[in-house]
Amino acid sequence: QLPEVRVLRMDQDSTVAKFAHADILRRFADGAANVLIGTQMVAKGLDFENVTLVGVLSADISLYVDNYRAAERTFSLLTQVVGRAGRGGKTGRAVIQTYTPGNDVIRCAARQDYDAFYESEIRMRRLRRYPPFADLFSFTVTGADESRVIRAAKALRDALGYAVERREELKPLSIEVLGPAGASVVKVNNRYRYRVFLVGKGCPALRRLVAEYLYAFYQHKENRGLDIFADCNAIQ
């Protein structure tokens, strides 16, 4: 006879009420349920000695978000989840569901091999000129008319490229201008978002360039009704 399955759920909806998060964990620890299903909030900092099995569904999703730290975050999350099983004297087991089982990040996380992940990740960041080897400045242009947003982003890209090629103080910095490209979620609140990137080691000259073009964007009448903002090494 199979044991009774008693399930608790912990996600954004179930933890809206005050102290709901702590209450769910207390009930699980007290044996009110033998299965806890949740989002990323169940991955970190939990220590239940009777938990012997953990599972992760669609572990690939966070690998392909629009952020240079996607692999780092995925590895961190998976190693945290794997570490939730077998906290006491019992043997633990983790099951990771993935569409890319050969991916180095997934494999290193499953083995909890921090050194191998670091060597792979630092090599890729060096090749791609990601932080800490360079800084990644992003300009995000937003507006209600997608075609105007794209035109403004292209004009910004061309102007930045011209400045990088012609200004003597910028020539030694090996700055790359990339884009425009749609944001990971192109349309939010009926406004389209397209990005232009500057890749180069952050320094006063490069930061002056960013500030100058943020100001200049609003001086052009063709950009009326559009907005722009910049970020450096955005973690989101």
Instruction: Return the pLDDT at 189.
Output: 95
Instruction: Return the pLDDT at 45.
Output: 67
Of 85-89, 134-138, 216-220, 221-225, the one with minimum mean pLDDT is: 85-89
From the list 167, 136, 125, the residue with the least C-alpha distance to 231 is 136
From the list 118, 115, 194, 120, the residue with the least C-alpha distance to 151 is 194
Mean pLDDT of 216-230: 95
Question: Is residue 21 classed as helix, strand or coil in its secondary structure?
Answer: helix
- Round to the nearest angstrom and report the end-to-end CA distance of the chain: 47
Instruction: Return the pLDDT at 18.
Output: 87
Instruction: Return the pLDDT at 229.
Output: 95
Q: Are 193 and 187 in contact (CB under 8 A)?
A: yes
Give Cα separations from 145 to 75, 154, 227 (angstroms). Answer: 38, 15, 12
Token representation of residue 57: 């569904």
Instruction: Return the pLDDT at 167.
Output: 92
Q: Convert the pLDDT of each residue in 131-147 to its tens digit.
A: 999 999 999 999 999 99
Instruction: Return the pLDDT at 196.
Output: 97
Give Cα separations from 195 to 77, 134, 164, 176 (angstroms). Answer: 28, 18, 18, 14
pLDDT at residue 32 is higher than 70: yes
Residue 189, classified by CB atoms within 10 Å of its CB into exposed (0-12), middle (13-18) or buried (19+), is exposed
pLDDT at residue 1 is higher than 70: no
Q: Convert the pLDDT of each residue in 97-127 to its tens digit.
A: 999 999 999 999 988 899 999 999 999 999 9
Instruction: Return the pLDDT at 2.
Output: 67
Residues 6 or more apart from 228 whose CB is under 8 A from it?
A: 139, 140, 141, 142, 152, 156, 214, 217, 218
